[in-house]
Amino acid sequence: MEHRWGMAIDLDRCTGCEACVVACHAENNLPVSSPEQAGKGRTDHWIRIDRYYEGEFPDVKVKYMPVLCQHCDDAPCEPVCPVYATYHNGEGLNVQVYNRCVGTFYCANNCPYTVRYFNWFAPEWPEPLHLQHNPDVSVRVAGVMEKCTFCIHRIKRSKQDAARDGRALADGDVQPACVQSCPAEAMVFGDLNDPQSKVSRAAGSGRATRLLEELGTKPKVFYLQKVK
């Protein structure tokens, strides 16, 4: 495996501003749900901010946790798909093939992180957002499952650029939209195969934990927080 892409999110830095959510929407052509559909829980956010409250009012502390596809090495969503629409690619990414998906919902049921999103209707954008689609990302049709790709199109672009310039891919060359837009610089993305990369060092820090690690899914997103 040439690369093994991973992410680290510093929860002590995260302010819950949701800039990553907006950036992901713009980058990945995520449809905009109507208020009515959003009220039913049919929003489409490949990254979302979960809120956890500690204490009783007025002494409340809110903890924010950005949750996206954890790109598990042993992903529970993969074996259950009857048509191989979701599989593991050569760089450890958990990939969703929209054109192959028939919509059994099984992957979403078996995802312990609930990070898979379904196209309940044909995608819609209020004007003029329909004019700003990212040409590097396909628009999904109704009836298929989708989820965070770690901005795979950006990974490909960076690799092409590096190959054109005749250099190796350097740490920090690839930045998914969420990482790029985080004002608190709480997110780091990179190659876990490179022990010197920022993400590898973050993953090795004493503050690093992984979400629902006990399920044996081997997620590749590391959450950093001070352990009290």
Partner 1 sequence: MAAAPELLPYKQIREDLFRPLSGVSRRYVLATCLAFIVGAAGLAAWVYQLRRGMGVTGLQRPVFWGFYIVDFVFWIGISHAGTLISAILRLTDAAWRKPVTRAAEAITVFALMIGAMFPVIHLGRAWLFYWLLPYPNSRLLWPNFRSPLLWDLTAIVTYLTGSVIYLYLPLIPDMAQLAEHNTPWRRKLYRALALGWTGSDREWHALERAMKLMACIILAVAISVHTVVAWDFAMSIAPMWHSTIFGPYFVTGAIFSGIAALLVALTALRKVLHLESYLKWHHFNNLAKLLLLMSLLWLYFTLAENLTVWYGNEPREMAVFGARTRAQYAPYFWTMVALNFVIPFVLLGIRRLRTIATATIAAVCVLAGMWLERFVIVVPTLANPRLAAASRGYAPTWVEIAITAATFAAMAMLYMIFSKLFPIIAVWEFKPHPEEDED
User: Hey, what are 127's tokens?
Assistant: 């004007």
- Which of 15, 90, 105, 195: binder of partner 1 (CB under 8 A)? 105
User: Hey, what are 37's tokens?
Assistant: 């559909």
89 is a contact residue toward partner 1 (CB under 8 A): no
**Termini Cα distance of the chain:** 36
Residue 39 is which amino acid? G
Q: Which is nearer to partner 1, 12 or 53 (CB)?
A: 53
67 is a contact residue toward partner 1 (CB under 8 A): yes
Q: Which is nearer to partner 1, 109 or 134 (CB)?
A: 109
Report the nearest approach of partner 1 to the CB of residue 39 (Å).
Answer: 10
Residue 110 is which amino acid? N
- Which of 15, 62, 100, 205: binder of partner 1 (CB under 8 A)? 100
- Read off φ and ψ for residue 145, nearest 5 degrees: -90, 150
Residues 14-53 that bind partner 1 (CB under 8 A): 37, 40-42, 50-52
Q: Long-range contacts made by residues 167-171, C-beta under 8 angstroms, separation at least 24?
A: 169/3, 171/196, 171/197, 171/198
Number of residues that bind partner 1 (CB under 8 A): 44
Q: Which is nearer to partner 1, 72 or 174 (CB)?
A: 72
- Which of 12, 89, 90, 109: binder of partner 1 (CB under 8 A)? 109
218 is a contact residue toward partner 1 (CB under 8 A): no
104 is a contact residue toward partner 1 (CB under 8 A): yes
Report the nearest approach of partner 1 to the CB of residue 114 (Å).
Answer: 4
Q: Distance between CA atoms of 10 and 199, rounded to whole angstroms? A: 11
Q: Residue 189 forms beta bridges with which residues?
A: 7
Strands 145-146 and 94-96, bridge-based pairing: unpaired
Neighbours of 219 (CB within 10 A): 23
106 is a contact residue toward partner 1 (CB under 8 A): yes
Q: Among 115, 147, 110, 108, which residue's Cα sits nearest to residue 49?
A: 115
Q: Which is nearer to partner 1, 120 or 125 (CB)?
A: 120
Contacts with partner 1, residue ranges (CB under 8 A): 37, 40-42, 50-52, 65, 67, 76, 79-84, 100-106, 108-110, 112-114, 116-122, 141-145, 211-212, 215
